[in-house]
Amino acid sequence: MESSAYPMLFSPIKVGTTEVKNRVFMPPVSTNLADHGYVTDDLVDHYRARAKGGVGLIITEVVTVEPTYTYLPGDMCCYDDTFIPGWEKLAAAVHEYGCKIMPQLFHPAYMAFNIPGTPRLIAPSFVGPSYAREAPRPITVDEIHELTHQFGDAAVRMQKAGVDGVEVHAAHAHGMLGGFLTPLYNKRTDEYGGSLDARMRFLLEVIAEIRERCGKDFIIDVRISGDEYTDGGLTLNDMIYVSRRLEKAGVDMIHVSGGTTIKRGSAIPAAGTQQASHAACSREIKKHVNIPVATVGRINEAWIAEELIEDGAADICMMGRANLCDAEFCNKAAAGNADDIRPCIGCLRCLNGIMFGKRISCTVNPDVERDEAGYEPAAEAKNVLVVGAGPAGMEAAYIAAKRGHNVVLVDKQDEPGGEMRIAAVPPAKQELTRVIKYQYRRLAKAGVKCVFGTELSAEDIQRDYAGYEVVLAYGAEPIAPASCRDLSRS
């Protein structure tokens, strides 16, 4: 894949013995689209759209390797062979577009979902995040060995299904392996706790198991936090050491994230925060290993990703929400059409939804589960009037035009955007202006006639737009959170 616009980003890279066509990888983003752990057609469509959109390699959302503990009810699993056929379908759909795919292997430990009937949660030690209902039970050494084997079984199954490798999740003080690594949650006094070497033991045993059973051509990538940014947590120095040990253990790539799941915003940065949030860690770690290093965290524009690679901060950019928000991110960027990319605003509606068991959704992309090419042409082309050029009106006008209707969009303001123009005013909300620009630009391309500075009454509509289908998309009212209402009174 070549691009004169972003030559570094869209140059190939070798991970282990596998060549990947470009350096935009998609990090794990849970969708809640699986059915009792099984791959669904919706999941296949979701990942196929990103593969078709040009991503080099997709790391899927968490995939649990044993049956007792569920992370989110809609997550994928691979704890027995019945899961293989679904994965075959998924791998084939992604490979069709020259994209590689790797499941993120995971055990949720103290973060398992509270499904009725779930036994007491297990963990490295008797400590867990503050929101846990009760202290978890420390996993025994025999259970560690069994779980190591289960990670290996899961990798072998995935290999049979045709995936290109696996990512082992050991970041964010999250789940079992992230928990063992961090001094925040590993308080063991046996051979699996105490020193950093001992806390790494379980992870290294899992890697050895997978490598032995899946062979040298199967990619093994480990996700780590380059720094937990937390008092008493893992530091960058620790993680340089860990990365070197991982390289020695035969890992093919290190995915440097940062922070913890508990320290809000540290692992999944919010809107208005610095882009490429963990690049300082990946840059430092890259100096100490010879395998590819990926960076992640609010990288949502192609020029930033290009600069990170050119500047030596990483070999690979993981771009999660950017590819969620626009499945065609890569193709558009590679072709030099970055202005046509649907901008992610960092609002985290996607995350809020899945944490409460809902299907993945996106504030800016109503087509997040599939790609917009899925819209059928209308059986009969009609005249359509959309009143209100806020985000809903512009989306309605665009989709109607895409389906072949003749669309007029009218707004009483002199500019498009509606209430969103006001919403973009506070600090950290600047990115909303990009959504307005993006939506308006699309309208012109789709042939929508826009009329501004015109207020229409019901009589005006009946007289001037007789026979039109009418969409009323005005009248949005801002919601003021209770805390702001209180402030305004004081």
Ligand X SMILES: Cc1cc2nc3c(=O)[nH]c(=O)nc-3n(C[C@H](O)[C@H](O)[C@H](O)COP(=O)(O)O)c2cc1C
Distance CA 223, CA 258 (A): 10
Q: Exposed e or buried b for every residue in 370-384, given b needs 16+ CB within 10 A?
A: ebbeeeeeeeeeeeb
Binding partner selected for residue 235 from ligand X, ligand SF4, none, CB under the kind-specific 5 to 8 Å limit: none
Number of residues that bind ligand SF4 (CB under 6 A): 14
Q: Which stretch binds ligand SF4 (CB under 6 A): 80-88, 168-176, 343-351, 458-466?
A: 343-351
Contact positions with ligand X (CB under 6 A) in 143-182: 169
Which range in 74-82, 109-117, 174-182, 360-368 contacts ligand SF4 by CB under 6 A? 360-368
351 binds ligand X (CB under 6 A): yes
Q: Is position 76 an interface residue for ligand X (rule: CB under 6 A)?
A: no
Chain centroid to CA 249: how far?
A: 28
**Measured CA distances, 218 to 23, 159, 212, 222, 381 (Å):** 19, 8, 10, 13, 52
Site stretch for ligand SF4 (CB under 6 A), options 185-193, 361-369, 452-460, 467-475: 361-369
β strands within 406-480, DSSP E: 406-410, 449-451, 469-472
Closest to 33 (Cα-Cα) out of 371, 373, 361, 364:
361
CA distance 147 to 175: 13
Counting Cα atoms < 13 Å in the Cβ hemisphere of 154 gives 28
Pick the binder of ligand SF4 from 144, 317, 362, 420 (CB under 6 A).
362
Over the window 29 to 58, marking each residue x when it contacts ligand SF4 by CB under 6 A and - when it does not, the resulting string is ------------------------------
Decide if residue 321 touches ligand SF4 (CB under 6 A): yes
Nearer to ligand X, 246 or 268 (CB): 268
From the list 92, 347, 399, 476, which residue makes contact with ligand SF4 (rule: CB under 6 A)? 347
127 neighbors 185 (Cβ within 8 angstroms):
yes
Q: Which two tokens stand for residue 17?
A: 């013995």
Beta strands 18-20 and 13-15: pairing type? antiparallel
Instruction: Give the SS3 label for residue 381.
Output: coil
Q: Which is nearer to ligand X, 158 or 396 (CB)?
A: 158
Q: How far is CA 243 from CA 73, 162, 165, 220, 234, in A?
A: 32, 27, 19, 13, 13
Which stretch in 5-13, 142-150, 223-231, 347-355 sits in contact with ligand SF4 by CB under 6 A? 347-355
The amino acid that residue 160 corresponds to is: K
- Of 12-20, 36-44, 319-327, 328-336, the segment contacting ligand SF4 by CB under 6 A is 319-327
For residue 409, state whether it binds ligand SF4 (rule: CB under 6 A). Answer: no
Decide the pairing of beta strands 253-257 and 219-225. Answer: parallel
Number of residue whose CB is nearest ligand X: 320
Does 325 bind ligand SF4 (CB under 6 A)? Our answer is yes
Q: How far is the CB of 255 from ligand X (least distance, A)?
A: 9
Single-letter residue type at 282: S
Amino acid at 379: A
Q: Out of 27, 86, 103, 138, point to the residue binding ligand X (CB under 6 A).
A: 27
Q: How far is the CB of 4 from ligand X (least distance, A)?
A: 25
- Say how far apart CA 440 and CA 391 lie, in whole Å: 9
Query: Does residue number 298 form part of the binding site for ligand X (CB under 6 A)?
Result: yes
| C-beta separation of 29 from 324 below 8 A | yes
Out of 16, 292, 297, 343, the residue judged to bind ligand X by CB under 6 A: 297
What's at 55, amino acid-wise? V
Q: How far is the CB of 167 from ligand SF4 (least distance, A)?
A: 20
324 touches ligand SF4 (CB under 6 A): yes
Q: Which stretch binds ligand SF4 (CB under 6 A): 112-120, 206-214, 274-282, 341-349?
A: 341-349
Find which of ligand X, ligand SF4, none residue 29 binds, CB within 5 to 8 Å per kind.
ligand X
| Nearer to ligand X among residue 131 and residue 356 (C-beta) | 356
Structure tokens at 156: 């072998």
Does position 245 interact with ligand SF4 (CB under 6 A)? The reply is: no
| Binding-site size, ligand X (CB under 6 A) | 22
Q: Are 223 and 266 within 8 A, CB to CB?
A: no
Of 258, 298, 264, 293, which Cα lies nearest the Cα of 278?
Answer: 258
SS3 of residue 25 by DSSP: strand
Residues that bind ligand SF4 (CB under 6 A): 321, 324-325, 344-350, 362-365
Residues that bind ligand X (CB under 6 A): 27-30, 61-62, 104, 169, 223, 257, 268, 296-299, 319-322, 350-351, 354
